[in-house]
């Protein structure tokens, strides 16, 4: 059973269809793992175990009759608590919704269920997803399975922690400034932020309107790159609700010849110098490619150094209106201390200021796109640090490695590439041109294979 539990989502689905394991057996096994690790992690905050067993039993009964629900038939999953679920309380991490049942699934959740996935429960998120740490006044903090005194990152930290601990096969994250990629890096798993507009954000805590709608994306988180590709293919495409989601061709990463790609790398973005172990991980990935005869060149996109300044202006251009509306709609009177607060040194925005921000933002996106005249893929750090202590302050410049590509909308895959001196995971980010997730995933898959298997968290030492 452990071989199946520790395998890929692809192999779990195959094992169920072939009769090697039942959905009920797999579901109960993951519930057992959750019950073993979650008291220390606080990653799963709303279990749906009884419903999961019911749906798993139905999946087994239907399979016996030859009725296969989809490519995920009977495979368990968890779901970030910022994404609505029909049959489970969805709080978005805010007190006003602590008992709220949405009555409908988020679009991406519904698509996974339509393919046969079985929901085990909801994973923790900061209030409205607006923090790089996972903590809120409803459920409290989530801890990193590699070091319980550190955060798994945010905002998809509950998902990342549970996947890293081997207690769920996959989850969906949301990424507005790095909220899929950062927790993947901090927790040592795989995750992808798709191109902006690839996956509908309908049913997520942040609305599908306003400035953040242009930078937010739903994307899969798992232990293997092949699973990211499978899950992305399921959730992508318009739902005729999210106005930013478009129909775009999806390439198969298996068809990409990595040796034919023009690959760039850098270990420092010119904004915040990373820790030595992080720079070393990028350089090691570079060396693996070079040793295999793949040409790699050091380069940074033109305009990258402006990303931190532009992001700070974009996220504060509405003078906090979006947060005020979210709190009002949720009827939350007591917001979390981690909820994003507008910096005091920024003047109040005028209509002219907002127009200027939008103009500068578009010019930045245009300047950055010229990078793809010369390259197809960029390998770089995910963050300037590894997992932070729970009470450590946040230096937003360290997060510019992810926010830069929310500002452009480019896709980025994160995989684990090393371990630092504190025995913490080190991830690397593989960025590609808009709607070329196949390029990003192909390089990530190549490197995942070349780097080999990393030790999981030492749960027995907790």
Query: Do 210 and 452 form a contact (C-beta atoms < 8 A)?
Result: no
C-beta neighbour count of 265 within 10 angstroms = 22
Q: What is the C-alpha separation between 385 and 186, in angstroms, rounded? A: 9
CA distance linking residue 119 with residue 56, whole number of Å: 9
Half-sphere exposure of 179 toward its Cβ, with a 13 Å CA cutoff? Answer: 31
Token digits of residue 151? 């955060």
Q: Identify the CA nearest to 51 among candidates 86, 15, 14, 16.
A: 86
How far apart CA 461 and CA 127 sit, in angstroms, is 31
Q: Is 303 left (phi over 0), alpha (psi -120 to 50) or beta?
A: left
The answer to whether the CB of 126 falls within 8 A of the CB of 134 is yes
**Kind and range of the H or E element at 52?**
helix 49-64
SS3 content of the chain, % helix, strand, coil (to 5): 40, 15, 45
Residue 193 is a catalytic residue: no
Is position 65 annotated as part of the catalytic site?
no
Give the Cα separation of 172 and 64 in Å (integer): 29
Strand partners of residue 147:
144
The answer to whether the beta carbons of residues 246 and 197 sit under 8 Å apart is: yes
Residue found by looking up tokens 């593989």 in the block: 430
Q: Which residue among the candidates 23, 131, 179, 196 is catalytic per the annotation?
A: 179
Name beta bridge partners: 430.
Answer: 379, 413
What is the spatial distance between Cα 70 and Cα 52, in angstroms, rounded to a whole number? 17
Assess whether 155 carries a catalytic annotation: yes
In sequence order, what are the beta bridge partners of 263?
296, 377
Per annotation, catalytic residue among 8, 22, 155, 184: 155
**Separation between Cα atoms, residue 131 and residue 376, nearest integer Å:** 31
Q: Which of 8, 22, 80, 349 is catalytic?
A: 80
Residues annotated as catalytic are 80, 155, 179
């Amino acid at each position: 059973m452990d071989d199946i539990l520790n395998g890929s989502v692809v192999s779990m689905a195959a094992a169920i269809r072939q009769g090697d394991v039942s959905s009920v057996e797999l579901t109960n096994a993951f519930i057992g793992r959750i019950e073993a690790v979650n008291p220390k992690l606080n990653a799963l905050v709303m279990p749906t175990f009884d419903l999961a067993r019911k749906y798993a039993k139905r999946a087994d009964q239907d399979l016996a009759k030859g009725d296969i629900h989809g490519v995920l038939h009977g495979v368990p999953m968890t779901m970030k608590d910022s994404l609505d679920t029909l049959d489970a309380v969805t709080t978005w991490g805010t007190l006003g919704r602590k008992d709220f049942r949405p009555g409908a699934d988020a679009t991406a959740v519904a698509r996974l269920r339509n393919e046969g996935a079985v929901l085990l429960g909801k994973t923790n998120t900061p209030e409205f997803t607006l923090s790089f740490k996972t903590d809120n006044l409803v459920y409290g903090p989530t801890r990193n399975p590699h070091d319980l005194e550190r955060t798994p990152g945010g905002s998809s930290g509950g998902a990342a922690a549970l996947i890293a601990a081997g207690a769920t096969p996959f989850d969906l994250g949301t990424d507005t400034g790095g909220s899929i990629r950062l927790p993947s890096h901090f927790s040592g798993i795989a995750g992808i932020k798709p191109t902006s507009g690839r996956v509908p954000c309908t049913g997520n805590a942040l609305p599908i309107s306003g400035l953040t709608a242009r930078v937010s994306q739903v994307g899969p988180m798992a232990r293997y790159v092949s699973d990211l590709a499978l899950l992305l293919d399921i959730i992508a495409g318009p739902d005729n609700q999210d106005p930013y989601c478009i129909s775009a061709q999806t390439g198969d990463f298996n068809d990409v010849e990595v040796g034919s790609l023009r690959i760039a790398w850098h270990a420092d973005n010119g904004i915040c110098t990373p820790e030595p172990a992080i720079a070393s991980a990028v350089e090691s990935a570079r060396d693996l490619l070079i040793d295999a005869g793949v040409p790699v060149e050091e380069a940074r996109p033109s305009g990258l150094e402006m990303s931190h300044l532009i992001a700070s202006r974009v996220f504060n251009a509405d003078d906090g209106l979006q947060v005020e509306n979210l709190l009002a709609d949720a009827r939350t009177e007591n917001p979390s201390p981690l909820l994003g607060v507008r910096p005091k040194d920024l003047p109040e925005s005028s209509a002219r200021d907002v127009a200027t921000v939008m103009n500068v933002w578009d010019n930045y996106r245009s300047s950055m796109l010229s990078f793809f005249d010369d390259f197809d893929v960029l390998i770089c750090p995910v963050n300037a640090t590894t997992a932070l202590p729970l009470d450590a302050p946040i230096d937003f410049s360290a997060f510019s490695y992810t926010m830069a590509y929310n500002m452009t909308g480019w896709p980025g895959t994160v995989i684990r590439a090393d371990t630092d001196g504190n025995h913490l995971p080190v991830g690397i980010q593989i960025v590609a041109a808009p709607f070329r997730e196949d390029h990003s995933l192909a390089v990530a898959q190549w490197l995942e294979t070349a780097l080999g298997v990393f030790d999981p968290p030492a749960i027995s030492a907790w």
